[in-house]
Structure 1
């Protein structure tokens, strides 16, 4: 599996990908998922892939050569939207060639792609591509895309990133998002590829491959875990069975008589209810008889 994330901000674009692939726990490989198409001064485009590796490698090979009805490739497309359409056509070409044969072996045609960049004369744009070759574009309401193991790294991005976020802050957030994913899922792994693109540069100026020795990423791994634990410990424990007006952080109100959904035991194992002693906020013991289900 993999995890890739890209963000479209007012200042430019941030791309981050891992490099792990696996076909089972005993077949782990390293393949870089980020491909950069650069013609300095004219265009910079980035493609990141997740899913079946053989499919994504075929698409990567075809897309740089694919010609549309107007005779343009991604190298000559007049807009990022047109380049995304050419990429979509490349996905469909591979699907037409391979999908039926793969299905005979029980293999789904599974690929997800993030594609973004800038062509001279237009703004930065970002797209998420699907297995059918269709795609959606990022706007201010959805300023980032994720593919692969997205769920672990999503919460931090949702809380932090807006179109106004600076590129360095967005890069930091992307790396924290990746660290959270690495912590929780073994199908995502180092090294990472990080590219930060400033709008209108039309060239790759900030790119780094991050391994386990990278000082900044190691600092993030230490600091983020420690800060999370510190914040967690600073949050008060819940208060049970208290009046909301008597104290703060009441989880279960003394006037709340909610009950779980109980499954009645068979008569052969059922026992008489035993008194339940409950400690109240005032410290008095109340003997309550457990209710038997109806």
Structure 2
């Protein structure tokens, strides 16, 4: 299993990035801990300098595992299932810009979390589903051209009212029968929805594209709340080769990026 840590540039409040600050300052810290990549939290992808990002990370043997797109919804209100057609088109265009950036960054994965919005972004669930399907056709077609994988995150009910359960999310992904559409699981959402991590992973081993590591309340993983041993056991059984993304608060404890890494790495190395 490869390991990646969420990075945020420190210009906005973030409870999901153990490492925050300028990329050039964070990269050597991540590499020293033992991470192989960073997940980047990006607002406006067209304004990013991909070559500069690659150069900074490359100096430390790091790459980009994936790109989080949620700021486009939380800051700009763009939703790929919006009942407002102009908003939907802008959201799809933004997703294409994320895909372009990901392509340049050695084909990093692109996440769909908050940018899928809520059913209230459309007039009703039927319209929401129609708009989302239309958008996903465009997004997946574009992603296939760029050889970039899109990952759809199962999210807990306090953050979304669609794709809250693993089964629902997996079923939607399978409908498209696309090798460029995968499932993103996050331990905090599995916990919040009373999903069994072991079963969820084993049952959906063919479509899992990313697994996020976070303890309850976005705290550093320590095994006192969520059953991380069971999650790691399942991933080892399915011979998971993709990234584990460490996605939680910077503190407490101090040096959470290191402490969480050491805890999970120990589980991975146990027989």
Q: TM-score, normalised by structure 2?
A: 0.32
**Normalising to structure 1: TM-score of the pair?**
0.30
Judging by fraction of residues, say which structure has more helix. 2
